[in-house]
Structure 1
Amino acid sequence: MEIPVWTKPAIWGGIIGAIAITVVGFSADMIVTSSTATEMANSQSKEAMITALTPICVAQFKTLTPTNQTMQLAALKQESSYKRDDFVIAQGWATMPGNAEPSNEIGNACAAQLMKLTES
């Protein structure tokens, strides 16, 4: 049996194409390893949790009387931008119901939401 002349170039083309697809796929994050996928999923779930719990933090702030809200917002506005999450944590607003410890990430997101209240 005789092998057609085009077989060798076709095989080399297939090998080079597979390598090219693999390189482009990994470079463009179209293909990821299982550890990268796990890392991405953990990051997305953490962001979703922070997004879901931030309104609870703001609601805990809103339980204050209107006068206290105004005073606390003024105090928060006076804090430097990188210490605002510490202020929110110190007030206890970033401690979620059922948890003993506050969350820095929720404190940071909550401070950003509370700062939006000072703009209006």
Structure 2
Amino acid sequence: MAIEIPAWTKPGIWGGIIGAALITIVGFSTGSVVSGGTAQEMADASGKEATISAMAPVCVAQFKMLSPNNQTAELTALKAESSYKRDDFVIAKGWATMPGSDEPNNEIAQRCASLLMDLTTN
């Protein structure tokens, strides 16, 4: 007894293969689907950004421990710095060195400088 394969089987299989290929191509090209490595890179970048966002206010809080007169003087000095050297200014003042850490963080210093510059407009 021979098994009869229905006539629609061959076109159905080809349709499934072509559909899977198209979904894969469209998914990867639009960014809807990513590889495991890309997902890890995205997670690492997101974690780093979250850490910087969480720690920059600590930097500002360390600045705000200064007396009001010193705050005004330091903000004036920060504003006088060129925009690309403001993070160095924050690092030199020690505000970008987080509690429990021995070294300042450049990314936190950049965000902190930006937040401090926002204080100069108020």
TM-score interval, normalised by the smaller of the two chains: over 0.9
Question: Aligned AA for 2:36?
Answer: S
Which of 33, 37, 49 pairs up with 2:51? 49
Matched residue pairs, number?
A: 120
SS in 1 for 2:96: coil
- Name the structure 2 match of 1:98: 100
Which of 20, 42, 49 pairs up with 1:40? 42
Question: Aligned AA for 2:11?
Answer: P
Question: Aligned AA for 2:67?
Answer: T
Distance in 1, Cα, partners of 2:56 & 2:30: 33
Question: Aligned AA for 2:85?
Answer: K
How big is the shift at 1:53? 0.5
CA deviation map 1:49-70 (0-9, x unaligned): 0111111100000011111111
Instruction: Give the 5 Å matches for 1:20-31.
Output: 20-31=22-33
Normalising by structure 2, we get a TM-score of 0.93
How big is the shift at 1:6? 2.0
Distance in 2, Cα, partners of 1:26 & 1:106: 33
Q: Structure 1: state its 5+ residue gaps.
A: none
Q: CA RMSD in A?
A: 1.0
Distance in 2, Cα, partners of 1:18 & 1:118: 56
CA deviation map 1:83-115 (0-9, x unaligned): 111111111000001111000000000001000
- Name the structure 2 match of 1:15: 17
SS in 1 for 2:66: coil
Q: Structure 2: state its 5+ residue gaps.
A: none
